[in-house]
Amino acid sequence: MHQVAVLLLLLFGLFGSFFCNGGNLIGTSTASRIRTASQQQNASSHFVLVHGAGHGAWCWYKVIDQLQKRGHRVSDVDLTSAGINGVDPRSVTSLEQYSGPLLQLLRSVPRGHKIILVGHSLGGDSLTYVMEKYPHQIAAAMFVAANMFPRGSNGTFVYNQVITNNKAVQNSKVYFYSNGSKTPVAAAFKLDLVQDVLYHLSPSKDVVLAKLLLKPRPLFKHHSAELSREKYGSIPRYFVKTTQDKLISPKLQDLMIEYNPPKRVFHVHSDHSPFFSKPAILLEYLLKVAKLHQTN
């Protein structure tokens, strides 16, 4: 099965960000990806793409291809234990640890250079975390059906509605335990349910790809630290609402929008995974934001 997955990755061209100079492997570090991106001298914006739960950088392959063809810089990350990152998800105990590769990437961005940060689903938690830490390096943040929780007690309330009390989220997962603990430390999507819950409007070949590559993701306590107006609040936020979403329903997305209003809401008639089902429309929205926030 693993060999098939690798073959599919090669066929889809997902290893493109790791190869240069006639196909020589240059490594998988975030720093390598930054260097590769910085070589694109004519790029007008620099996008950083952050995947959601169980996914990896591979899920953005259609978007990456089209952004690069239009001359934009693109950096993608595999968060700790995701994608080709080999860390056991059961050992990841905090959002800070999970977001480590994204933090490393932000630290590698040259002074004066700004990025457009794009996150999907659970990736919104990592976006929020780094927005508070590195506000001066982020031109704008786009939440694609992503966790966009408000500050303080409202954040806990919205989190419980969107995640804890969401039957679609809870019923679509299988849990993993560690050291005999009765508390789960990782979770994965049930593969027999993902087509209906995550990808019901997506091409069948993308569903096949996802089923081969989805991984368990760590479970850690919800990060509810204060978000300041001076840092997190200074960054323009955009929300992409997926109107046919079966995992995070439009109603629940509206709740996040109501309690933590973004600068603008874009609508896409897609399932939870517009990078598969509606990549052209998602690309259109990314380019609109890029036009508003040139990062070069």
Q: What is the rounded distance in angstroms from the CA atom of residue 177 to the CA atom of residue 4?
A: 28
For this structure, is 223 an active site residue? no
Q: Which residue among 75, 81, 99, 121 is the active-site one? A: 121
φ/ψ bin of 219: left (φ > 0), alpha (ψ from -120 to 50), beta (otherwise)? beta
Specify whether the CB–CB gap between 130 and 257 falls below 8 A: no
Q: Which residue among 272, 273, 277, 293 is the active-site one? A: 272
Q: Apex CA 133: angle with CA 87 and CA 100, to 5°?
A: 5
Specify whether the CB–CB gap between 145 and 243 falls below 8 A: no
For this structure, is 121 an active site residue? yes
Beta-bridge partners for 140: 116
Q: What is the rounded distance in angstroms from the CA atom of residue 281 to the CA atom of residue 270?
A: 10
Specify whether the CB–CB gap between 219 and 163 falls below 8 A: no
Give every CB contact of residue 108 below 8 A, 6+ residues apart in sequence: 30, 31, 34
Q: Which residue among 245, 270, 271, 277 is the active-site one? A: 245
For this structure, is 270 an active site residue? no
User: Which residues are tagged catalytic?
Assistant: 121, 245, 272
